[in-house]
Amino acid sequence: MSLQEKTFKGIIWSFVDNFASQGVEFIVGIILARILTPHEFGLIGMLTVFIAISQTFIDSGFTNALIRKSNCTQKDYSTVFFFNISVSLFLYFVLFASSEAIGSFFKEPQLGILLKVLGLCLVFGSISMIQKTILTKEINFKQQTKISLFSSVISGAIGILMALNGYGVWSLVGRALISLILSSILFWISSKWRPSFIFSKSSFKELFGFGSKLLVSGLIDTIYNNIYYLIIGKYFSTKELGLYTRADQFKNIFSQNITSVIQRVSFPTLSLIKEDPDRLRESYQKLLRSTMFITFSLMFSMAAMSKSMIFTLVGEKWLPAAPYLELLCFVGIFYPLNSLNLNILNVKGRSDLFLRLEIIKKIIFIPVIVIGVFYGIKALILGMIFNSLVAYFINSYYSGRLIGYSVFRQITDIKPSFLIGMVVGALLYIESLIIPGNLYIIFIIQCISAPLFILIFSEITQFKDYLFLKKIIFDYIFKNDDRER
């Protein structure tokens, strides 16, 4: 199997994995949003930053270090396994001990007991990290898809039953915890790998030499990405945080999942050709153009449909989240761009540069956080858009120097996709203004017309990136048909 076929197969299964499991979670989230209130989602949002920071410490950059290393041994895997478990237990006890203080900080006493239970996710999540890493290293996402989909369905059903029976915010906690417990058990059952009772100092030192810089940069990035939850929870109401959380989850169903899919597949595949500069640049260029064609189309469409989408899917009580979603879509546009450019730094082994850039960018972004405290959530999101734009120019400048693919060439390559996405978004927005009837009807019409607009524009203009995607999809389908015959 060629690298392109292997990459595409990995993207397909990673795409199915993310969008099947996230699709289930999205549907479950819609049902729960109709049963619960923004206040209950806001409570979980307040704890997000603490869980996310802890998860960054548990990984400590070892996952990427293992994926990048060509000849990982049992000693390497076992060393990282015991490190992950030890750190997760330590951090759980730290959160347990500080849970009441966190509740007092937000003036929400219920947060103490919620964090004590939700913090167990750290321990259960760390148990199966090596199994997932091995599958990712092998570009094997089929097994991960089955496990995550099963876990999402079962935990989602239990969460809905809990909500219907009056458990309130505990239904959200229960769903998260059950999902991780189930997936960890299934990864252990399906994987042949088992740890040996080894902890190698030399292995730890080698992997941590690369991973330590990713730990610090990941920690900085995690704090930055989640500090908005802390600011909104502290300086605004729990309800406002719930509305922001719901808008952010809508945005993530496309932007973050596309980013996750491409990142999971591109890092191991590009690492295989890191010593061939021409091939690396060509593969990265195709990946960037194809990814951004999909991203621009989806995010501009969602921004135009934000009001009808929220009203139709989660109900009128969530409508105040629509302006947040509309703005957050423009933040989401930059997620894949920045992720792909940062991936190049890791592929080339420049985790030191990765760290320096993260520190520089976050220092530049501090004033935006201050503005948000004084001028409100919309101003905060506008600042996030500006930050993402600045981050793109910084990231693409340095990654471009490493592989000979400049910022100007990147922008030139993705500009047609941007224009198509912008035109489609504008047409969808015009539809919302001129179509008579309620928001349900507008949403249905927009859902039908959005893909039609994209296909029509792409076929009429014979858009290169669209034709590339169309070709590899058709080739993949027909090759599989031939094999079956």
Reading the block at residue 159, the tokens are 């969460």
Highest mean pLDDT, choosing among 129-133, 203-207, 441-445, 456-460: 441-445
Percent of the chain with pLDDT over 90: 23
Reading the block at residue 439, the tokens are 């928001």
Residue 171, pLDDT score: 94
Query: How far, in whole angstroms, is CA 80 from its chain's centroid?
Result: 23
In this prediction, residue 7 has a pLDDT band, given cuts at 50, 70 and 90, of low
DSSP state of 254: T
Q: Evaluate if residue 481 carries a pLDDT over 60.
A: no
- Least confident piece of the model among 14-23, 357-366, 428-437, 466-475: 14-23
Instruction: Quote the CA–CA distance of 207 and 62 in Å, as a whole number.
Output: 6
Residue 377, pLDDT score: 85
Instruction: Quote the CA–CA distance of 214 and 298 in Å, as a whole number.
Output: 30
User: Which of 359, 355, 404 has its CA nearest to residue 64?
Assistant: 355
Residue 484, pLDDT score: 47
Give 438-459 pLDDT, tens digit per residue.
Answer: 888 899 999 999 989 988 888 8
In Å, how far are 213, 376, 398, 469 from 364, measured between CA atoms?
Answer: 20, 20, 17, 37
User: Which of 176, 92, 188, 91 has its CA nearest to residue 132?
Assistant: 188
User: In this structure, is the dihedral angle defined by the CA atoms of residues 229, 231, 237 and 243, taken in order, positive or negative?
Assistant: negative
The residues, ordered by sequence, that sit 6+ positions from 71 with a Cβ below 8 Å of its Cβ are none
Instruction: Quote the CA–CA distance of 93 and 393 in Å, as a whole number.
Output: 40
Percent of the chain with pLDDT over 70: 88
Q: Evaluate if residue 270 carries a pLDDT over 80.
A: no
Residue 305, pLDDT score: 93
Residue 180 and residue 125 in contact, taking contact as beta carbons nearer than 8 Å:
yes
Reading the block at residue 455, the tokens are 């296909």
Q: What are the b/e assignments for 86-115, b being 16+ CB within 10 Å?
A: ebbeebbeebeeebeebbeebebeebbebb
For tokens 């219907």, the residue is: 164
- Least confident piece of the model among 6-20, 28-42, 140-154, 216-230: 6-20
